[in-house]
Structure 1
Amino acid sequence: MASVTVAGIDCGTNSIRLKVARVDEHGMEEIVPRTLRVIRLGQDVDQTHRFADEALERAYAAAGEFAEILREHPVDGIRFVATSATRDAENREQFEDAMERILGVRPEVIPGTEEADLSFLGATSVVERDLEAPYVVIDLGGGSTELVLGGDGVTAPKTEVQGAFSMNIGSVRMTERHLHTDPPTDDEIAEAVADIDEHIDEAFRVVPAGKARTIIGVSGTVTTMTALTMGLKEYDHRLVDGVRVPFPDAFAVNDRFLRMPREERREYRTIHPGRIDVVGGGALVWSRVLARIGEAAKADHGVAIDSFVASEHGLLDGIVLDYGRRLLTAR
């Protein structure tokens, strides 16, 4: 059976990830599982519209580590995708030039709509068959949050995107924009909620999220908050992947960590050290998106969605699958 070995790199606002896999017509097989480094590339980009020098240095250091891995695992091709922070940075060419020197591949700054499509591809590539369609996939990043609705399995395939929108809200952006006090004040939280809801209103004008029957959440914020809801003492992706979480449990934990001082968050080994200061902002976005989709679903078909499914598969998986399939088609 024909196959290709490809690497995917996903560089977001808060973290950069690498995955190497063998792709064939049936899917993909990991060769190098996801490698993640928290680099906070989007540090202050919301205010300055430029990458900070120290953020670039963190990104270059991570890229050097990835280059070593790729030297040990030759591939047929690499696709390097950059998202929200890079879309906003005026000095992104400096970043792109340096990354190309280090890794031999130039980052592609993709639009939010393509990011949404790839996240949906990755999330639905391993979805359980008993989940009710249509699925809405939410990819909550540091700088943006993608909302993607798929087909119902009757008039359109379950894995076919029916609507997608990228909102400029995320864990880093909301923290830097609104949550300045540690812990945040009620006024700061209220300002953030108003901002988040305004973006959700805009998204709902494009994506009929109320048609969804199943919510699938991807990204570090979602999986971290899921692990905390589960009471895990250490993060374990095998336990988190595919778990269903009731809304009341998620809301309670999200609110608790939003209002928790950062030093207290540091006591939880479940949270990656690079997320300590922004995980509360991400939790707030996550709660609002869940609540609003639940309300929209009840208004649309009379049945409220009251839980979500957490997934370890999202944008990075979509990058690898999509790129591998295109290489196979070109052969």
Structure 2
Amino acid sequence: MRVAIIDIGTNSTRLLVTDIINNEIIPVLSTLESTRIGEGIGKNLEIKTQVLQRTLDCLNNYKDKCLSLDVQEIRVIATSAVRDASNRDQVVQMIEDITSLKVDVISGEKEAYLSFIGATSDEDISNDKDNLVVDIGGGSTELVSFSNNRLNCNSVKVGAVRLAENREIDNVNHVLKPLIMDIPKNFRLIGVGGTITSLAAIQLGLEKYDPNLIQGFVLNLAVIEKLYYDLSKMELEERKNVKGLQPKRADIIPFGIIILKNIMDLLNAQEVSVSEKDLMHGLIMEEFINKKSKYPSH
């Protein structure tokens, strides 16, 4: 069976096409466009029509790709920007009317849950520590752990795009603190999302993004702090030319790193393992793979 997942995020809209054979996920196509639906959303949390148009164009393009690849089922999810938008219902209706794609706006807790399922799906992940997954998105950040037979999913409204626009850097630590409730003492920190995968790609100096090199790469706190220092002192145009960094992410990457650094400081974590597999992979696991999850569904 060939399925596609489309994720409408605050910063980018992503497409993942996979074949499911004998309960195994075989990647066919993975791509993204920096549509930034959360741009200029402001205090009234309204998604502007001209901003939405980028996402509509992208979705129609993805739909055509899916048709050409003979995809049998398409699932579309929307996260932070659409979830929090004051005109959420109108935005979803417009997307569905123009693209004929049904959109599922998922909660922050569901987003956290799916990210955890995806990030911890690799069999080589160690079981000697409780896994703790951090997902830094454009509009929100999630932290998820599983301990004492319980899945703890926490989400807060701070992400790389949101922080870049409101510049409330001094308030970041305060906003992030609710994430660290019920955290296991002995944990392995796993990171997903564009900020963290970009840092791995930059550290590796990748001319072309390679998911196989990103998966499982370990970033230590000293390296993250050095990358933040180097990137934040660059002018935007210089940052756009950094190997491993998508040019359209250049303006928000320092703010994503600020969030990551603050979380690691709050957790007293010295390193984070990078995962290419996130909520999109988690959704496939949850919806299409016939394996009973050991985690309670959200």
Q: TM-score, normalising length from structure 1?
A: 0.81
Report if the CA contact (8 A) 1:255-1:284 is conserved: no
Return the alpha-carbon distance in structure 1 between the equivalents of residues 213 and 119 of structure 2: 16
1:79 paired to 2:79 = no
- Alignment correspondent of 1:302: none
The answer to whether the Cα contact below 8 Å between 1:224 and 1:235 also exists between their aligned partners in 2 is no
Look up the match of 1:196: 172
- Rounded to whole Å, the distance in 2 between the matches of 1:25 and 1:233 is 34
Q: 1:57 aligns with which of 53, 56, 60?
A: 53
1:54-78 CA-to-partner distances (Å, cap 9, x unmatched) read 2111101101110111111333422
Q: Which residue of 1 aligns with 2:231?
A: 257
Matches within 5 A, 1:6-85: 6-23=3-20, 26-30=23-27, 32-85=28-81
Name the residue aligned to 1:142.
138
> Per-residue deviation at 1:97?
2.3
Q: Relative to structure 1, is the Cα distance of residues 103 and 19 closer, same or farther in structure 2, using a 3 angstrom cutoff?
A: farther
Alpha-carbon distance in structure 2 between the residues aligned to 1:131 and 1:259: 40
Equivalents in 2 of 1:33, 1:211: separation in Å?
Answer: 38
Q: Which residue pairs with 2:295 in the alignment?
A: none
1:108 matches 2:108: no
d(CA) in 1 for partners of 2:47, 2:291: 33
**1:107 shift after superposition:** 0.9
Instruction: Identify the range of structure 1 (242-251 vs 129-138) with the bigger mean alpha-carbon deviation.
Output: 129-138
Q: Does 1:272 align with 2:246?
A: yes
The alpha-carbon deviation at position 291 of structure 1 amounts to 1.8
CA displacement at 1:112 relative to structure 2: 0.2
Q: 1 CA distance for matches of 2:171 and 2:22? A: 43
- Hey, what does 1:229 align to over in structure 2? 203
Percent of pairs with identical residues: 30
Task: State the 1:275 CA deviation.
Answer: 0.7
Q: 1:220, CA displacement in angstroms?
A: 0.9
1:127: Cα distance to partner? 5.0
Does the 8 A contact of 1:97 with 1:106 survive in 2?
no
2:265 corresponds to 1:291: yes
Other structure's SS at 2:200 match: helix
Following the alignment from structure 2 to structure 1, what is the Cα–Cα distance between the partners of residues 204 and 224? 9
Match of 2:86 among 87, 90, 102: 90
User: What is the CA–CA distance in structure 1 between the aligned matches of 2:56 and 2:291, rounded to whole Å?
Assistant: 28
CA RMSD in angstroms comes to 2.2
Alpha-carbon distance between aligned partners in 2 of 1:289 and 1:48, rounded to the nearest angstrom: 27
SS of the residue corresponding to residue 23 of structure 1 reads strand
Q: Which residue of 2 aligns with 1:184?
A: none
Q: Distance in 2 between matches of 1:130 and 1:326?
A: 23
Separation in 1 of the partners of 2:100 and 2:291?
A: 18
Task: Pick from 257, 267, 281 the counterpart of residue 317 of structure 1.
Answer: 281
Partner of 2:166: 177
Residue 63 of structure 2 aligns to which amino acid in structure 1? A
Q: Which runs of 5+ in 1 are unaligned?
A: 179-190, 295-304
SS in structure 2 opposite 1:48?
coil
Residues in 2 aligned to 1:293 and 1:231: alpha-carbon distance in whole angstroms: 28
Alpha-carbon offset, residue 120 of structure 1:
0.5
Provide closer, same or farther for how the CA distance between residues 133 and 33 of structure 1 changes in structure 2, counting only shifts above 3 A: farther
Does the Cα contact within 8 Å between 1:247 and 1:306 map onto a contact in 2? yes
Q: Is 1:166 paired with 2:163? A: no
1:255 Cα deviation from its structure 2 partner: 3.1
Q: How far does the alpha carbon of each residue in 1:55-105 deviate from its partner, in whole angstroms, 9 at most, with x for none? A: 111101101110111111333422211000001212223322232234432
Q: CA deviation at 1:226?
A: 1.7
SS at match of 1:75: coil
SS at match of 1:216: strand
* Aligned-partner residue type, residue 286 of structure 2: D
Counterpart CA distance in 2 for 1:139 and 1:127 is: 20
Question: What is the aligned partner in structure 2 of residue 183 from structure 1?
Answer: none
Sort the Cα spacing of 1:233 and 1:138 in 2 relative to 1 into closer, same or farther, 3 A. same
1:10-58 CA distance string (max 9 Å, x none): 111000111122335633122x321211101001224331112221111
Per the TM alignment, residue 282 of structure 1 is displaced from its structure 2 partner at its CA by 0.7
The answer to whether residue 86 in structure 2 is matched with residue 122 in structure 1 is: no
Structure 1: distance between partners of 2:154 and 2:96: 29
How many aligned positions are there?
292
Structure-2 change in CA distance of 1:234 and 1:76 (3 Å) = closer
SS in 1 for 2:280: helix
2:123 and 2:247 mapped to 1: Cα distance? Answer: 29
